[in-house]
Structures are given as structure tokens and as C-alpha cells.
């Protein structure tokens, strides 16, 4: 009899937990639905407030969403804060890191942007977006060797990707490798006929 009571009590507790979870999930869905509507209408502050009612520091999905909406509202410090919380909750998820790059770029915090791209590449070494933009950072700093390495990875993965081809071409030219650069500039012209960047590069090669 005592065993039966324990079983019944356990079932009641389990049903209660499931019911609470279902209710919580329904509330979250409704709040997100409202925030999507507000975002679509361009009311970013309202969209943020739609979620504040259900905000939980332990929710990855809410913090990512709040980070995005805060970025759209140009609340960059708040955006970074929410993305940092999300990253701490799921360190191996790269979407929050990509999200955090946006407000960091807006305030020109390039070292932190660079650090995020580097961490993304530790998690996903073949990530072409991180490879490309980290390559751009190195290129703008005239660190052409590192830039060439990153653009080269993308080129090997996607030889028909114009952005990777043209950036690798300019990088090779800056590394005083005109032969390699010429081949790449000509390939860029195949991908984009009469491309002004490729034509300008070829004019610089004697």
C-alpha cells in the first residue's frame, strides 16, 4: 500500500511538472510572436518589452533574441550584454558569437570582433563567413600573410566565390606576388565581367 502511494505521488508530481512546462512554453511562444510582429513593424523597443515580461537569464533563446532586438534598437551595450550571457550558456554555439559581432562592430571594438571570429574558427575551422571577415580585418591592418591564409581557405573551398577570389588577388598583390595576383584577377573577371576592382588590379601589374 505504501509503495502504491509513492507511485501515485510520483505520477502526480510528474503530471504537474509537465503541465507547468506546457504553460510556460505557451507563454513564451505568445511573447515571441508579439515580438516578431513588433520587429516587423520597426518597433524595436516594443519588441524588447514584449520579451522582458518572460525574460530569464538562464534562457539561451531569449538572450539571443534580446541581443538582436537591442542591436536593432541601437542599444549596443545592452545587445552585447545579452549576447555574452547567451555565449556563456552555450559556449560552442556560434550563432550568438556572430550576433555579438554586430554591436561590437557598431562601436568599432575590433579586437573583440577579432576574438569572436577566432573563437568561431576554433569551433568551426571551415566557417567561410568567419574566415572571410577575419581576413578582412587582417587585410585592413596590412597583415597580408594572415589575410592570405584565411582568404586562401575560402578559395580552396569555393573557387567560384567572387569575394574570396578578389580579396585573395589583392592580398597576393600586396605580398608582391604579381603572377598569382594576375591569375586571380583574371578569374574574378570571369566571375564578374568588367569588374572594376579586378581591372584596377591588373593595371597595377606590369
Name which of 189, 190, 170 is nearest 180 in CA terms. 170
- Kindly list the structural domains of the chain, giving each domain's residue range(s) and its CATH number in brackets, ordered by start: 1-124 (1.25.40.10), 142-206 (1.25.40.10)
pLDDT in tens, 4-29: 454 554 444 444 444 434 445 788 88
More confident residue, 81 or 32: 81
Distance CA 11, CA 19 (A): 12
pLDDT in tens, 137-160: 999 999 999 999 999 999 999 999
The pLDDT of residue 23: 44
**pLDDT > 60? residue 49:** yes
The pLDDT of residue 154: 97
Average pLDDT for the chain: 90
The pLDDT of residue 19: 43
pLDDT in tens, 163-193: 999 999 999 999 999 999 999 999 999 999 9
* Mean pLDDT across 104-113: 97
And the C-alpha cell for 7? Answer: 507511485
**pLDDT > 60? residue 67:** yes
Amino acid at each position: 500500500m505504501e509503495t502504491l502511494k509513492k507511485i501515485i505521488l510520483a505520477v502526480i508530481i510528474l503530471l504537474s511538472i509537465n503541465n507547468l512546462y506546457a504553460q510556460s512554453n505557451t507563454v513564451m511562444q505568445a511573447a515571441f510572436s508579439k515580438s516578431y510582429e513588433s520587429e516587423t513593424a520597426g518597433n524595436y523597443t516594443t519588441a524588447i518589452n514584449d520579451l522582458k515580461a518572460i525574460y530569464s537569464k538562464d534562457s539561451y533563446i531569449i538572450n539571443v533574441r534580446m541581443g538582436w532586438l537591442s542591436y536593432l534598437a541601437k542599444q549596443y551595450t545592452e545587445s552585447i550584454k545579452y549576447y555574452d550571457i547567451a555565449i556563456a550558456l552555450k559556449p560552442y554555439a556560434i550563432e550568438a558569437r556572430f550576433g555579438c559581432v554586430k554591436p561590437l562592430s557598431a562601436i568599432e571594438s575590433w579586437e573583440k570582433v577579432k576574438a569572436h571570429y577566432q573563437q568561431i574558427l576554433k569551433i568551426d575551422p571551415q566557417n567561410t563567413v568567419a574566415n572571410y571577415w577575419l581576413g578582412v580585418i587582417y587585410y585592413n591592418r596590412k597583415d597580408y600573410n594572415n589575410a592570405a591564409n584565411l582568404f586562401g581557405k575560402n578559395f580552396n573551398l569555393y573557387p567560384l566565390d567572387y569575394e574570396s577570389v578578389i580579396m585573395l588577388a589583392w592580398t597576393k598583390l600586396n605580398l608582391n606576388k604579381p603572377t598569382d595576383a594576375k591569375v586571380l584577377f583574371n578569374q574574378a573577371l570571369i566571375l564578374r565581367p568588367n569588374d572594376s576592382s579586378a581591372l584596377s588590379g591588373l593595371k597595377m601589374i606590369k
